[in-house]
Amino acid sequence: MKKCSFCKKEIKPGTGKMFVKKDGKLFYFCSRKCEMHALKLKRKPANMTWLTKKSKKKTGDKK
């Protein structure tokens, strides 16, 4: 399965969106939210609190 280029969440077959830049780079997005944050708003995943909270829960960090 493909992973979202922004949040690294697995994308189920038949869902999501693939974006190809002019230079040939491929980006996969699980939702419109991830697509907008990555492409239009040019935000970095490390700075997004809704992503860092998810990753901390998965790894077990208490911070």
Please write the tens of the pLDDT for every residue from 6-41: 999 999 999 999 999 999 999 999 999 999 989 998
Is the entire prediction scored with pTM above 0.75?
no
Q: What is the CATH number of the domain that holds 33?
A: 2.30.170.20
Average pLDDT over residues 34-61: 76
The parent domain of residue 40 ranges over 2-59
Query: What is the predicted pLDDT for the residue at 43?
Result: 84
Number of domains into which the chain is organized: 1
CB contact at 8 A, 16 and 28: yes
Residue 10, strand partner residues: 3
Q: How far, in whole angstroms, is CA 4 from its chain's centroid?
A: 4
Q: Which residue has the higher pLDDT, 6 or 45?
A: 6
Name the helix (H) or strand (E) containing 22: none
